[in-house]
Amino acid sequence: MRFTKMQGAGNDYVYVNCFDEPIPGDPAALARQMADRHFGVGGDGLILICPSEVADARMWMFNADGSEGEMCGNGIRCVAKYVYDHGICAKPALKIETGCGVLALELHVIDGLVEQVTVDMGEPILLAADVPTTLPGDPRRDGAAIDVPLSVGGQSLRVTCVSMGNPHCVTFVEELSDRWALEIGPRIEADSHFPNRVNAEFVEVLGRGEVRQRTWERGSGETLACGTGAAAVCVAGVLTDRTDRKIIVHLPGGDLTQHWREEDNHVYMTGPAVEVFSGQWA
């Protein structure tokens, strides 16, 4: 089986072109094997690029632990690059089917290859029960869980919960550190207030238009970037009046631009997509 390793701002996945290759019989087990950084290819998970009846292609993603993910902002940019660069559908604007619906993408092409992609991430889901979380939503703010208290591991936090097709719990901190990402992050992921588990974002605000972010991803651990997480951070920053609607998010693997537009209530993400290497999985 042929595979391709790709990354968006350091968020790396193994990709399989299922237009040419058969869909694996047990993709969850395959994800665990291929994503292993010591005994496999290595990555944050496995993404299958499949035919779609409603879009130009379908993204079917699995985290490193084999759990299925609804959406990956960095992953979908790489899917778009692969679809364009490898001639599956060479259009400057694509539609990709995901676990949370069909998303529109605008490709930024240089010398015949995609270098950056802008993704319409859609409207953020804020109603607490739909994120989902059992943390209390504010009836004055349409039931959203904004800057609400959460206690984990003896640490009292103020968190904002946002779904961008997958659930996020955003915590603004004075200074980022390993303790936040590596100790508090996994505790938040498994906290009982999140019935489907959750991605945990920790954010240091540098200014109204600029933040630093680290993410503990549900099913993958800390990753160098999280696109849906960066979109959720943009929304949380506006809701708590910490940031403007358009921000640059500095992640360990690179920068992403997020814009929560007032005119349509959608979040638009722009960032890189890079093909690293291809190989044969025996």
Residue 221: predicted pLDDT: 95
Residues with Cβ within 8 Å of residue 49, at least 6 apart in sequence:
15, 16, 17, 18, 19, 57, 58, 59, 79, 82, 83, 88
Query: What's the residue count for the chain?
Result: 282
Check whether 184 has a pLDDT greater than 90: yes
Residue 282: predicted pLDDT: 86
Q: Which of 172, 177, 250, 239 is nearest to 210 (CA)?
A: 250
Check whether 175 has a pLDDT greater than 90: yes
Residues with Cβ within 8 Å of residue 230, at least 6 apart in sequence:
73, 213, 249, 251, 256, 258, 269
Could you count the other beta carbons within 10 Å of the beta carbon of residue 195?
12
Fill in the amino acid letter for 1.
M
Q: Domains of the chain (ranges plus CATH)?
A: 2-121+271-280 (3.10.310.10), 128-265 (3.10.310.10)
| DSSP character string of 11-64 | EEEEEEETTTSPPPS-HHHHHHHHH-TTTSS--SEEEEEE--SSSSEEEEEEET
Comparing 8-12, 27-31, 34-38, 152-156, the range with the smallest average pLDDT is 152-156
The residues carrying an active-site annotation are 72, 226
Q: Cα(162)–Cα(160) distance, rounded to whole angstroms?
A: 7
Residue 137: predicted pLDDT: 96
Residue 223: predicted pLDDT: 96
Check whether 13 has a pLDDT greater than 90: yes
Q: Cα(166)–Cα(47) distance, rounded to whole angstroms?
A: 16
pLDDT (mean) for 164-191 = 97
Rounded to 10°, the helix 227-239/73-85 angle is 130
**208, 218, 154, 173 alpha-carbon torsion, rounded to 10°:** -10
Residue 154: predicted pLDDT: 87
Fill in the amino acid letter for 82.
Y
Digit-coded pLDDT (tens) for 118-163: 999 999 999 999 999 999 999 999 999 999 999 998 899 999 999 9
Check whether 81 has a pLDDT greater than 90: yes
Q: Which two tokens stand for residue 76?
A: 């979908």
Residue 153: predicted pLDDT: 84
Pairing of strands 155-163, 199-207: unpaired
